[in-house]
Amino acid sequence: MENIKPHILIVEDEPDINELLCINLEKNNYTVSKSFDGEGGLKIARESIPDLILLDLMLPGINGIDVCKLLNSDKKTSGIKIIMLTALSQENDIVKGLESGADDYMTKPFSDKVLNARIKSVLKRNNKVEDQIKDTVYIENIQISQRKRSVKIDDKILDLTYTEFQILYLLATHPGWVFTRYQIIDKIRGDNYPVTDRSVDFQIVGLRKKMGSKGKLIETIRGVGYRFHLNET
């Protein structure tokens, strides 16, 4: 039986970058479509429903953030994975893009090897799994029990606050995912446990300290937010 190649749509207005991305992806056995502006990208996405879109933020006409919002507001296209392509100076736009529904981002320039690894990682993600409650999570010698609200590292129980536990559980159950501070607040906020944008950083500092050497697994993405970074083996 012939394997179906994942379909990737490139939306990038610079012809040279668009072509190089196309060559790289085809070489790695992907089916590729391409567009040079937001309107064209939306049209192709709605007609063909690709598995993933490489979406440049700075596009003529409709910009990448608006494209992302439109795709995620449409039930037909909301399941398409999106990796934003950005410049280093676009930190605020990265935050906006992630909060608009993008799954990940890449800052230019980037290597083919890193891009291919990100694509594989994002394609493995399952939105349905994300919404399921996992009772116990085992990751990097860390045991996290949602039901008991307990965390063990090398069989030592950590004394975490409610908010610290919720942040760790969110990040650890989505390894590699970048969450903005607003997204973290939105996921864990409760009426009895108010969390502010600034207090997220404070909670992360305390959480890392309690996790000891494992605290480095919570990675700061400068100007954006945080992610749980797995050690490469």
Put the strands of the sheet holding 136-139 in their side by side order: 136-139, 142-145, 150-153, 156-157
Q: How many residues does the chain have?
A: 233
**What top-level class would CATH report for the domain 129-228?**
mainly alpha
Fold classification of 7-125 is: Rossmann fold (3.40.50)
pLDDT score for 98? 85
Domain ranges across the chain: 7-125, 129-228
| Contact call for residues 51 and 45 (beta carbons, < 8 A) | no
pLDDT for position 229: 86
The predicted-structure confidence for 180-227, as pLDDT tens digits, reads as follows: 888 888 777 654 455 666 788 989 999 999 999 999 999 998 888 999
Q: Look at residue 55 in the predicted model and tell me its pLDDT.
A: 96
Beta strands per DSSP E along 171-233: 179-180, 218-221, 225-228
Residue 97 pLDDT: 84
Residue entry with tokens 């536990």: 165
* pLDDT less than 70: residues of the chain: 1-3, 88-90, 126-135, 189-197, 231-233
CA-to-CA dists, residue 104 to 49, 52, 138, 198, angstroms: 18, 11, 24, 23
| Span 27-47, pLDDT tens digits | 999 999 999 999 999 999 999
pLDDT number for residue 186: 79
Which pLDDT score, from 0 to 100, does residue 25 have? 95
Give pLDDT, residue 66: 94
Task: Determine contact, residues 161/169, Cβ cutoff 8 Å.
Answer: no
**Residue 228: half-sphere exposure toward Cβ, Cα within 13 Å:** 16
Write the CB contacts of 20 (distance below 8 Å, at least 6 apart in sequence). Answer: none
pTM, full prediction = 0.68
pLDDT at 130: 46
